[in-house]
Amino acid sequence: MNLIEISEKFPTELTCIEYAETLRYGKVVKCAYCNSKNLSNRRKDHRHKCNDCNKSTSVTVNSNIHNTRLPLKTWFFALAVITDAKKGMSALQLQRNINVSYPTAFTMYHKLRELMAQQNKSIDELEGVVEMDETFIGSKPRKFAKPEMPQKRREDLDSELKHYKAEGFDFRPQGKNPAKINNNSKRGRGTDNIPVAGIVERNGNVVAEVMQNLTYANLKKMVQKYVDEDKSVLITDNYKGYNSMKKIIGHVVIDHKEMYSYRGLNSNSIESFWAIIERGIMGQYHSVSPHKLPNYVAEFVYKYNNRKDNEAMFHELLSQLFQPITL
């Protein structure tokens, strides 16, 4: 939703409040403190008085934005602007768009990222052909040598392909624009930057996590957490952390010194996701403090997984804003 659509749909603060109340309570507004439906008529400040507990109640009480002093309209606008920005945006841009102070824009954006991180927890297990890789946010360009694959390796991969195809896995690229990898990708192992590991289901969802140590134990834990191992085959590069993956999941290794792609065996989908996240984080945010990085990553994961429906994203997050939190 763009700002014009938002303004038309929610022209006043009251229309925003009423919509938020429907999201939180359904048809009948209740007291946020005692759940009573016995409320007095809406007052001038748009709040209700509860006739049972005598408190003044509103849709933001005990919600994810309990302490907000901003008009709801500002939250609606912020959400529209942020969900519309596929490549992310800086708090400075948000500030200009919705006319609040920089610290306010910054705090709002982080609240919304937290909600995205929360929503990411309900991603279904990945299955089918899944690609796993890692990146280092903010690292220097990595030199790529021209790959060269020995005949023997080609034959080995052919037989692995035959094996997995017999099990029903399809490695052919789908869609008009199959992902291409960028050989000038600005990343590489062995830098001081923060590692992020990711897994993507071909044509499906992505998961990504900040991972301080890229050990087999940690990478394995991540596969077990997010992937249905019995219904999947994993493609990775030949990084040593993946060496023993065969113990838990069907696994094909693509050694980037030999090639980037072979008959559909590649990690182009996860590479495309890294390209989005690197451009987004480094391009928009310049520097990200390490403790905030997980939330930035969550934003790009959430947007990638909801890439086909901006409006659904807006409504889902809006609904989350007003959900009661347990105190």
CA angle 320, 322, 323 (to 5 degrees): 65
Q: Residue 25, interface with Zn ion (CB under 5 A)? A: no
E strands within the chain?
48-49, 56-57, 126-137, 194-201, 206-210, 227-236, 250-253, 261-262, 265-266
- Check: CB of residue 300 under 8 Å from CB of residue 79: no
Residue 100 one-letter amino acid: V
Least distance in Å: CB of 53 to Zn ion?
3
What does the alpha-carbon distance between residue 194 and residue 212 come to, in Å, rounded to a whole number?
7
Least distance in Å: CB of 55 to Zn ion?
5
Q: Residue 29, interface with Zn ion (CB under 5 A)? A: no
Site for Zn ion in 32-71 (CB under 5 A): 33-34, 36, 50, 52-53
Least distance in Å: CB of 57 to Zn ion?
6
Least distance in Å: CB of 324 to Zn ion?
13
If the CB atoms of residues 32 and 318 are measured against Zn ion, the closer one turns out to be 32
If the CB atoms of residues 55 and 220 are measured against Zn ion, the closer one turns out to be 55
Least distance in Å: CB of 66 to Zn ion?
16
**Which span sits near Zn ion by CB under 5 A: 14-22, 29-37, 72-80, 224-232?**
29-37
Least distance in Å: CB of 13 to Zn ion?
23
* Contacting residues for 36 by C-beta, under 8 A, at least 6 apart: 30, 50, 51, 52, 53
What does the alpha-carbon distance between residue 299 and residue 293 come to, in Å, rounded to a whole number?
10
If the CB atoms of residues 31 and 275 are measured against Zn ion, the closer one turns out to be 31
Q: Which helix (H) or strand (E) holds 301?
A: helix 293-305
SS3 294: helix
What does the alpha-carbon distance between residue 194 and residue 211 come to, in Å, rounded to a whole number?
8
If the CB atoms of residues 33 and 239 are measured against Zn ion, the closer one turns out to be 33
Nearest to 208 by CA among 218, 216, 217, 198: 198
Site for Zn ion in 260-279 (CB under 5 A): none
Nearest to 10 by CA among 318, 327, 322: 318
Least distance in Å: CB of 62 to Zn ion?
11
If the CB atoms of residues 31 and 222 are measured against Zn ion, the closer one turns out to be 31
If the CB atoms of residues 54 and 243 are measured against Zn ion, the closer one turns out to be 54
If the CB atoms of residues 34 and 217 are measured against Zn ion, the closer one turns out to be 34
Question: By CB under 5 A, how many residues form the interface with Zn ion?
Answer: 7
Residue 245 one-letter amino acid: M
Q: Which residues of this protein are in contact with Zn ion, per CB under 5 A?
A: 31, 33-34, 36, 50, 52-53
